[in-house]
Amino acid sequence: MSLLGLLVVGAPQGASAEVEALLASLPPRLPVPVLLAVHRGPQELLAGSLARRCPLPVLEPDDKDELVAGRVYLAPAGYHLLVDRSGVCLSREPAEHGQRPAMDPLFESAADAYGPAVAGLLFSGHEDGWAGLSNLSSRGGRVAVMGEGDPVEGVERVPLKDVKDWLVRLSYVPRMKVQP
Amino acid sequence: MSAVTHRAELEALEVELLIEGVRRQYGFDLRNHSRPLLLRRLRRHLREERLDTFSALQGRVLHDPEALEGLLRALACPPDTLFSDPAFFQAFRTRVVPMLRTYPSIRVWHAGCSSGEDTYALAILLMEEGLWGRCRLYASDASEGLLADARNGVLRLPGEEDARNYREAGGQRALTDYYTRDGDWAVLHPTLRESIFFTQHNLATDASFNEFQVILCRDTLLAYNRSLASRAHERLYESLVRFGFLGLGRKESVARTPYARAYEELEGTGRVFRRTG
């Protein structure tokens, strides 16, 4: 089991209330950065409303920004949000599944850059995100679909109220003595 | 090691070899391109070429220069529309144009013009603002193929959304005044096409070629990684006169380049910077 390095979250347009609830339930001292792709229109101001109840800062990154643990990076309107080991990479490639930002590009790049150190959460309700999620999972990342209900396509389902425990389980590392 | 991990590692190796092959055979250096973006475009190209592995693509590209041309085309971002970012052009019109009016002559460089949509949008704006007579607009791109498209001045026919964007950008006439319709295509008027100097220039490798009062370089440097983008910013900085204007993409900044202190952002413009140092 490798250490968690990154949490990626994808959600369709209708799910912003659930995303807000998820962000509100994040631990205030999350040891990893969170990358978030939500389907959105060009004019939609999203960061403000998502940040309202979130204990972590929510920001729309510029291209090539570094990733800092404990911050939530929201995909800006009109760009795909990608990630590599040095930080944020934005892309103006065409829409995928009719969406830009889309979830698949984020999940795919996270799998490439972080492999098994990624945790991925998907709010269902759109065709986007599934390919990326299965890509993450096949590379050893931990993935789940948000919400109540039966498992979908073999992916674990996590109710919103349990997501905190799910995250804690992922980021739990036995304490060890560290020599400076 | 799982089969999937093994495949992923093999793919990473094949991509390295492909990049190295393209560099040694043709001199195109993709090593410092934004890796996630490069991977996505290469994978899409692989699917479109109906090949299974990057090794197969490498074989084809090394033996066939036309396959290289296809690869480089696949790496370029597909064209946007005229005035695709109306807020930028609106800000340029209201904040930069008044200052440009005081200049006797203005050299403008659009670096990374791709197939020319933003270049033509800028030309239209400068015409409407009565600055065209004293402007010289240079537009450059690394790809000869894209430049040829840009020179042709034939775009996909603008639709209602484009007309709306044009108005939002502060357009004073009708967008249809600037082109002749040819089926699904719009042929831009020769007055626009003929007074733009299109020239091949690679921001990654070529030196500065003039001094400019205005440089636009919007979303072009997304394709590079941080170190190459910083080098490209060196070109831009050298090419901009003191107090000249640099227009970047909506989510780009000079903050993470060595020139952060040499620019001031014009407030409320999105991303127009003025060289002050």
Work out the average pLDDT over B16-39.
Answer: 95
Q: How close is the nearest chain A Cα to the Cα of B104, in Å?
A: 35
Rounded to an integer, what distance in angstroms lies between the CA atom of residue B192 and that of residue B139? 13
Work out the average pLDDT over B107-133.
Answer: 95
Taking domain A6-171, whether its CATH number is 3.40.50.2300 is answered by no
Rounded to an integer, what distance in angstroms lies between the CA atom of residue B68 and that of residue B47? 16
ipTM for the complex shown: 0.91
Query: CA B120 → CA A17, B108, B129, B174, B218, distances in Å?
Result: 41, 13, 14, 15, 14
Residue B259: per-residue pLDDT: 95
List, as one string, the DSSP characters of B57-95: HHHHHHH-HHHHHHHHHHHSPPP--TTSSHHHHHHIIII
Binning pLDDT at 50, 70 and 90, where does residue A173 land? Answer: low
Confirm or reject contact between A115 and chain B (CB < 8 A). yes
Q: How close is the nearest chain A Cα to the Cα of B192, in Å?
A: 26
Structural contact between residues B115 and B145, judged by C-beta atoms closer than 8 angstroms: no
Name the A residues in 58-77 with CB < 8 Å from any B CB: 60-65, 76
Work out the average pLDDT over A6-11.
Answer: 96
Query: Would you tell me how many other CB atoms lie within 10 Å of the CB of residue B8?
Result: 18
Q: Is the sign of the CA dihedral B80, B86, B90, B92 positive or negative?
A: negative
**Residue A150 scores a pLDDT above 80:** no
Rounded to an integer, what distance in angstroms lies between the CA atom of residue A72 and that of residue B148? 42
Side-chain-side CA neighbours of residue B138 (13 Å): 19
List, as one string, the DSSP characters of A88-100: EEEE-PPPBTTBS
Rounded to an integer, what distance in angstroms lies between the CA atom of residue B84 and that of residue B247? 15
**Residue B178 scores a pLDDT above 50:** yes
Q: State the average pLDDT for chain B.
A: 93
**Residue B196 scores a pLDDT above 70:** yes
Confirm or reject contact between B255 and chain A (CB < 8 A). yes
Rounded to an integer, what distance in angstroms lies between the CA atom of residue B80 and that of residue B93? 20
B39/A112 Cβ within 8 A: yes
Q: What's chain A's length in residues?
A: 180
Residue B35: per-residue pLDDT: 96
Of chain A, the end-to-end C-alpha distance in Å amounts to 24
Work out the average pLDDT over B10-18.
Answer: 96
Q: What are phi and psi of A119, to 5 degrees?
A: -110, 135
What does the pLDDT look like over B213-258, one tens digit per residue? Answer: 999 999 999 999 999 999 999 999 999 999 999 999 999 999 989 9
Binning pLDDT at 50, 70 and 90, where does residue A59 land? Answer: very high
What does the DSSP 8-state code read for residue B222? Answer: G
Q: How close is the nearest chain A Cα to the Cα of B190, in Å?
A: 29
Q: Is the sign of the CA dihedral A135, A54, A126, A96 positive or negative?
A: negative
Work out the average pLDDT over B125-142.
Answer: 95
- Dihedral in degrees, nearest 10, Cα atoms B232, B235, B236, B242: 150
Work out the average pLDDT over A20-40.
Answer: 93
Q: What are phi and psi of B58, to 5 degrees?
A: -60, -45
Residue type for position B146: L
Name the B residues in 64-93 with CB < 8 Å from any A CB: 77-78, 80
Work out the average pLDDT over A109-130.
Answer: 94
Residue B80: per-residue pLDDT: 80
Among left, alpha and beta (phi > 0; psi -120 to 50; other), residue A93 is beta
Residue A174: per-residue pLDDT: 52
Binning pLDDT at 50, 70 and 90, where does residue B188 land? Answer: very high
List chain B residues with CB under 8 Å of A91: 34, 36-37, 40, 222
**Residue A175 scores a pLDDT above 90:** no
Q: What angle do CA B195, B197, B203 make, to 5 degrees?
A: 150
Helix (H) or strand (E) holding A179: none
Among left, alpha and beta (phi > 0; psi -120 to 50; other), residue A149 is left
Q: What's chain B's length in residues?
A: 277
What does the pLDDT look like over B141-158, one tens digit per residue? Answer: 988 888 999 999 999 999
Structure tokens that stand for B85 in this block: 């970012």
**Residue A180 scores a pLDDT above 80:** no
Rounded to an integer, what distance in angstroms lies between the CA atom of residue A128 and that of residue A80? 13
Cβ-in-10-Å burial (0-12, 13-18, 19+) of A151 comes to exposed
Work out the average pLDDT over B177-194.
Answer: 93
Residue B1: per-residue pLDDT: 57
B5/A91 Cβ within 8 A: no
Strand partners, A11: A38
Work out the average pLDDT over B121-138.
Answer: 95
Work out the average pLDDT over A32-55.
Answer: 90
Structural contact between residues A162 and A137, judged by C-beta atoms closer than 8 angstroms: no
Domain boundaries, chain A: 6-171
Query: CA B30 → CA B15, B37, B119, B130, B206, distances in Å?
Result: 11, 11, 26, 41, 15
**Residue B98 scores a pLDDT above 80:** yes
Residue B58: per-residue pLDDT: 96
Confirm or reject contact between A134 and chain B (CB < 8 A). no
Residue A1: per-residue pLDDT: 43
What does the pLDDT look like over A82-112, one tens digit per residue? Answer: 999 989 999 999 999 999 999 999 999 999 9
Query: CA B103 → CA B110, B134, B135, B152, B273, distances in Å?
Result: 19, 9, 10, 30, 18
Query: Would you tell me how many other CB atoms lie within 10 Å of the CB of residue B16?
Result: 12
Residue A8: per-residue pLDDT: 97
